[in-house]
Amino acid sequence: MSQNLPQHVAVFGALRSGTTLLRLMLDEHDRLACPGETDYMFDHVSGGVPGDPVFDVEAMADNRIYRVFCDQFGLDPSAPQTMHGMMETMQGPKAAQDATVVLMLHRSLETALTHLPDMKILHLIRDPRDVARSSIGMGWAGSTYYGVRHWLDTEREWSACAPRLAPEQVLEVTYEALIEAPEETLGRICDFFGVSYTSSMLEYDGSSTYSKPDPSLTYQWRRKQTPREIGLVEAQLGELLITRGYPQSDHPPVVPGPLERLRLAIGQRRATWSVQIQRFGLRDPVLDKLSRHLGWPALGQPARRRMDAAMERYVK
C-alpha cells in the first residue's frame, strides 16, 4: 500500500530542538504540507503489516495532538483511520498542488521505518546543553541532569536506526545553522525534499507567534548555565556530544553520587509537580496519576481532557 501514499518525507529530532520552528517554515511552502506533530501515527500502532499499520483507536483518541489534528481537518477521533488516509488528509488544500507531506517525529522512528522504509529523513540536531535548559523552562525538568534525558532518548534511537538508511535518504541539519543562516539552510532542505526554495518560508511570523530567526538564541548555555549544570549534562552525553558535532566545554563532567542523585530525583518530582499544580490545580494531576497507577484509564480521562484544554494556553 505504501506506493499509493502521497509523496512523504520526515523531520526527526528531539523536542526543544527547533522542530516546531522548522515546521512553520516548511508549511509556508506551497508544495510542502506540514500541519503539525505526527508522533501519534507511530506511537499507537497495535498491529498490521509493513506499509499498512493498524492503530489502537482508543489510545489515539486519548492523544491531545491527534485530537487537534482531527479538529483541524474535521475528523472523528474515535473513528478508525489508516496511514494512507491520514497522510492524504494532511495535504489539506495543498492536495491540488500534489504537496509533499512532511511528518514531524520525535520518537518511534523504528516503527515509522517499518511502514515507510524509503522515506527521506531530515535529522534536526540542537546543542543538547541548550535543549536541557529549554526543558526546564517548559516545566519538564527540574535540572539539566533530567532536562537532557529526552534528547538522549531521541538521539540514541537515531543512532540505532541510521545504519539501515541509504546516504541519499538522510540530511543532517543543526538548529544553529537554521537560525544563523536560514536562507542557505532552507535552500539545502528544499533541495533534499525536491522543491525550490521560496522566500515565503521565512514569513511564518505573520501566521504564528514565533519571531524571525534570532542568533542570540543559539548556544545560550555558554551564558546562562553554571559549570556544574554544564557538567551534569556532559557527563551523561559522553562521546555522543562530539559525534553530533558539538565540542565539549572546558568544564569537568559532574557525575553525581548516590545522595546527589537522590537530591536531583526529589528536585525533579518537586519541580514537575509544582508546574502541573500551577497550571492545572491539584485535582486533575492527581486523578491522572492515580488512573495510570491503577491501570484504570476511564478514571483519569476527564481529568486529562481538562488538562489538555488548559494546556492550549501554554502552547506557543
- DSSP for residue 211: P
The per-residue DSSP string of 66-119 comes to: HHHHHHHHT--TTS---HHHHHHHHHGGGGGGTPEEEEEESS-HHHHHHH-TT-
Domains and CATH numbers, the chain: 2-280 (3.40.50.300)
**Which positions of the chain have pLDDT values less than 50?**
1-3
d(CA 56, CA 119) in angstroms, rounded, equals 23
d(CA 286, CA 107) in angstroms, rounded, equals 27
Could you give the angle at the alpha carbon of 129 between the alpha carbons of 125 and 133, nearest 5°?
Answer: 110
pLDDT of amino acid 50: 95
- DSSP for residue 270: H
pLDDT of amino acid 296: 86
Dmax over Cα atoms in the chain, in whole Å? Answer: 61
d(CA 9, CA 22) in angstroms, rounded, equals 14
67: nearest Cα among 77, 58, 59, 54 = 77
pLDDT of amino acid 187: 98
Amino acid at 97: Q
pTM, full prediction: 0.92
Cell of 239: 562521546
pLDDT of amino acid 136: 94
pLDDT of amino acid 312: 76
pLDDT of amino acid 5: 57
pLDDT of amino acid 304: 86
| Residue whose cell numbers read 542568533 | 215
* Residue 129 near residue 225, CB atoms below 8 Å: yes
Helices 283-294 and 297-311, interaxial angle, to 10°? 140
d(CA 60, CA 78) in angstroms, rounded, equals 8
Cell of 256: 553525581
pLDDT of amino acid 316: 61
10 Å Cβ neighbour count for 89? 20
The per-residue DSSP string of 219-268 comes to: STHHHHS-HHHHHHHHHHHTHHHHHTT----SSPP----HHHHHHHHHHH
| Residue whose cell numbers read 484504570 | 296
d(CA 16, CA 172) in angstroms, rounded, equals 17
pLDDT tens profile 158-188: 999 999 999 999 999 999 999 999 999 999 9
pLDDT of amino acid 226: 96
pLDDT tens profile 132-160: 999 998 999 999 999 999 999 999 999 99
pLDDT of amino acid 140: 93
Question: Which H or E element spans position 40?
Answer: helix 40-43
pLDDT of amino acid 3: 44
